[in-house]
Structure 1
């Protein structure tokens, strides 16, 4: 058996997230089917993390194993693989790695962006969150800076998730203006389910002056999801980068 990493991107509008689930179309399901057809053997991928329904990924990694006894060079042609995938899933590269390389556990940093725009734009529909009023960016950045001082983010985690810890190390969290609106950029070693959308929802409360920046401390320290803001729509969220110290590429 040989292990491969696959780098891809996808628009999540038409999918119930990355991970296979019953009675729903997911990115992982379609990728597995396309790889199995191309390689003429059953293939099951393992992704670098979960994305929720409607969430996009400009960079995503997964790994899979295949029996190389009948391996032919053309079987790893990404053009052939892309031809088997729908228009909104695109494979960028496929490469060999050592058998112990893992797309999820070997990742040391992940980055997300959340996009917001303020004027109706058909080209941003399902790709960004449309709001009427501009929030106070300065106040939101004050609150975002406070978030980086903490490690336990139970207040921003979806309930009843099967994780051993709610601790994450956030290394960047900031709002920036763009040509079409504003974007929130955040990077950490790991993220909890629904975490980024809950953080954005809470920071939007600050930006609308419903709470003050210092109130975010109280919310985090309470470790209660009910105290934080509501989760913002999935359409504006993008997984933009997954970083590995080494991809443990086979030489």
Structure 2
């Protein structure tokens, strides 16, 4: 008999080359699989994540699943894994789920935040500093043009292995945290490789006055990555939420 478990966790991506295992580079997936395998008597355990975050990208909320040949004590699993994992990876919960649950393919929406600040601050190292004057109202008007179901090829990394570049964006807006701190929130059913960072980089050009607000519509329509602007640095990007259908009964763990 096989038991499927979903884990809720968070990580700071600064020291890793993204979520996915890759040759000669550290990854979040590798760290977790290594510890789970140790707890499983060195019998290999593979995990499936809810998405592939790139090098340096963080997650305040992330979900993965794995299969086990034996039933596990979920509280003990959380306790033991947290003792074994490095300080920049933290586990919130482990839950027994149905075999139909799939961390990557079951989500209905994903939400990212991108943080920027305008004044030098040593405590905002996971935020992108902006040194020029910028118009957030113009950027918010431009961001609204991203809403709906569209082909986002212009904001996708080239030569990816996806079947379609069509995404449905349900939220896209800039939010003010303090006088000099802001974050961009974007929610969609799916995201393309590098999409959020390319969107933010292009919206910043609107804020600087180098692009018009309606240029966003033209850039999307052209389906050409060369039309969008440079991607912003990875350090300001956080995956903050994953939503699943209610029938999977994923219990959101407290993250205090």
Q: TM-score range by the shorter chain?
A: over 0.9
- 2:153 aligned with 1:151, yes or no? no
User: SS in structure 2 opposite 1:31?
Assistant: helix
Quote the residue 2:254 is aligned against: none
Conserved 8 A contact 1:166-1:192: yes
Instruction: Give CA-to-partner distance per residue, 1:95-152, whole Å, 9 cap, x none.
Output: 1011121001100000000000112211211x10012124100110111001114511
Residues 86-235 of structure 1 aligned to structure 2 (within 5 Å): 86-125=86-125, 127-179=126-178, 180-235=180-235
Deviation at 1:249, TM superposition (A): 4.7
**Deviation (angstroms), 1:17:** 0.4
Q: Which runs of 5+ in 1 are unaligned?
A: none
Change (3 A) 1:19 1:247: farther
Q: Is 1:13 aligned with 2:17? A: no
Which residue in 2 is equivalent to 1:22? Answer: 23
Aligned to 2:31, what secondary structure does the other structure show?
helix
Counterpart Cα distance in 1 of 2:89 and 2:20 = 14
1:36-115 matches, within 5 Å, as 36-40=37-41, 41-68=43-70, 71=71, 73=73, 76-115=76-115
Q: Which moved more, 1:33-42 or 1:208-217?
A: 33-42
In the alignment, which residue of structure 1 is the partner of 2:3? 2
Q: Distance in 2 between matches of 1:221 and 1:198?
A: 15
1:47-77 Cα deviation digits (max 9, x unpaired): 0010000000000000000111xx5637843
> What is the rounded CA distance, in whole Å, between the counterparts of 1:157 and 1:17 in structure 2?
17
- Preserved CA contact (<8 Å) 1:39 1:75: no
Equivalent in the alignment of 2:239: 239
- Alignment coverage as a number of residue pairs: 247
Shift of 1:207: 0.2
State the SS of the aligned residue for 1:107: coil
Quick check: 2:74–2:93 contact (8 Å CA) kept in 1?
A: no
Unpaired segments of 5 or more residues in structure 2?
Answer: 251-256
1:53 and 1:234 in contact (8 A); partners too: yes
Calculate the aligned-residue CA RMSD, in Å. Answer: 1.5
Distance 1:135 1:89 in 2: 34
Cα deviation, residue 246, structure 1: 2.6
Aligned residues of 2:17 and 2:26 also touching (Cα < 8 A): yes
Q: Distance in 2 between matches of 1:18 and 1:91?
A: 15
The structure-2 alpha-carbon separation of the partners of 1:74 and 1:234, relative to structure 1 and needing over 3 Å to count, comes to closer
Distance 1:74 1:204, change over 3 A: closer
